Amino acid sequence: MSFNGLHTALSGIRAGQNGLDTASNNISNANTDGYTRQRVELSQTSTIQRRGVNVGQGVQVDGIHRLREDFLDTRARATGAEFSHQDTRASLLQRTEELFAEPDHGLSETMGELWDAFEDLGNEPDDLATREQVVGALETLAGRFNGIAQGLDQLESDTHVRLDGAVDDANELLGRLDELNDEISAAGGRQVNALRDERDLVLDDLSNLVGVDVQVAEENEDVVEVSIGVGGQTLVDIEGVQGELALVDDEVSDGQFLAAVDPDNPPDEIGEGDALTGIRGEIPSLIGFLSEPGPGERGLGDFREQLDDFADDFMTMLNAQHNAPVEGNDDIIHTDLLTGGEDGAGSLRVDEDLDPDHLIAGETTDPLDGRNAEALADLRETPMNDVDVDDDLPEGPAEEVYRNIAIALGRETRSATEDADTREGLYSSAEVARSQAHDVSIDEEMVGLMQFQRALEASSRAMTSVDEALDTLINRTGLVGR
């Protein structure tokens, strides 16, 4: 019998206390966002040889480690970035579709009212009220074009504000990541599980904004490095923050943004045709939507260009037919129905020189001649591609062209929404797998509590037994017969 038994029992008591404390901490943080379940790592101490027999010296606590799988983190962040990218695009397309949608009194309905007004004018070319009805229909139609254009302008402005905010958020996260790297590294191997949990949350949020590649630094395993893009543009490494996100000249130009602004690390433009295609997340999705028209996924510029082309073609077709009788007839004054400007559909308006009396209803100056008004009404069925224009609009009459534009946009929106739903499912599956690995299970922790409680009680009983044996050996041995 020796005092070694006391040390052995004491190590068991300490192990039990650590186990109880860890299980209690897990239970307390079961609903804490980002908390990773912890476990006490135990190992037996080295044995000692006593009279030819190897005797154990108890248990030692190697540390309290997080139950976290890097592979599951990588998969969750990748699927999260993809979902964020597609969900952002789907929401933007939904807002765009709402502008082009055909409510009870949409653009197609307004065009129909204009054709009806021309038809009435053909029947009553000398009636002032009918002429005023045509001018009113033209003003309503121009207002509908203006309204859609203004809605697209507002969407563009809102998206820019959202993009600026997302870029600022990403830069704040990069700065916080660098701070956490320093704090964890400075701990010098001490347990800093709370800081590591916070760093993982930062990486999750950063990945949703702009998908990043996360690697452990070769020089220091306590530091994580992040980069973006196919070329691996470094944002944070062991030396600190090496780059920030920023828009090129504070504007989106061909889908480009700056990936680094450090003087020693010259800015790299990551554009739609370059590495941006390999980056997912909210920020590249917003940038792609704001990009100028071009190959790849359609964005706001494509939809605005299509609306402007349609407005210009419609104006050209209408004015050409309205002024058709002017050629070869000096008695008829040339007058445009609609005029436009550089703002396309946003600047479409009724010609300021047009009044009801200037409407060219006939092919002659006869006040009862309504043949030109009838020809204008017949434009309802005239394919717009008969107009000599160079654009990529669908073929067919005006109302059909616009409906096809709206239908194509709706189809694209549904596709993006379905894709986002699919990505959400994959992200949810990855999150479930990750949660099963590192989230707290109350049932498991209750079992752990009982196990460590029993172990603590047993170690305490073992210490009492050794103490009693030593007391007998030291204080009572040799007293018999005195």
Provide the whole-model pTM: 0.83
Q: What is the pLDDT along the chain (482 residues), one digit of tens a residue?
A: 556 667 787 778 888 888 898 898 999 999 999 999 999 988 888 777 666 666 667 888 888 899 999 999 999 999 999 999 999 999 999 999 999 987 667 898 999 999 999 999 999 999 999 999 999 999 999 999 999 999 999 999 999 899 889 988 988 998 999 999 999 988 876 778 999 999 999 999 999 998 888 888 888 888 888 887 655 677 888 888 777 776 655 555 444 555 544 434 445 555 444 445 568 899 888 888 887 666 667 888 889 999 999 999 999 999 999 988 877 677 777 889 999 877 889 999 999 988 898 899 998 888 898 999 999 999 999 988 765 555 678 888 999 999 999 999 999 999 999 999 999 999 999 999 999 999 988 888 888 888 888 887 787 787 777 766 766 767 766 655 55
* Helix (H/G/I), strand (E/B), else coil: 334: coil
What digits encode the pLDDT tens for the residues 8-52?
A: 877 788 888 888 988 989 999 999 999 999 999 888 887 776 666
Cα-trace Rg, the chain: 38
Residues 37, 45: Cα–Cα separation, whole Å = 26
Alpha helices in 344-441 (DSSP H): 371-378, 398-438
User: Taking a C-beta distance cutoff of 8 angstroms, is the pair 259, 235 a contact?
Assistant: yes
DSSP 8-state secondary structure symbol assigned to residue 415: H
Q: Which of 99, 209, 76, 81 is nearest to 146 (CA)?
A: 99
| Single-letter residue type at 456 | L
User: Taking a C-beta distance cutoff of 8 angstroms, is the pair 8, 56 a contact?
Assistant: yes
**Domain positions in the chain:** 4-67+440-475, 72-97+160-296, 104-150+300-410
DSSP 8-state secondary structure symbol assigned to residue 292: P
Residue 93: partners with Cβ closer than 8 Å, 6 or more residues away: 409, 412, 413, 416, 417
Identify the bridge partners of residue 257 per DSSP, sorted by sequence position: 247, 270
Q: How far is CA 213 from CA 199, 229, 231, in A?
A: 14, 8, 11
Q: Note the pLDDT of residue 43.
A: 83
In terms of DSSP bridges, do strands 257-258 and 269-270 run parallel, antiparallel, or are they unpaired? antiparallel
Q: Note the pLDDT of residue 127.
A: 93
Kindly tell me the sign of the dihedral angle through the C-alpha atoms of 194, 196, 197, 199: positive
User: Taking a C-beta distance cutoff of 8 angstroms, is the pair 148, 107 a contact?
Assistant: yes
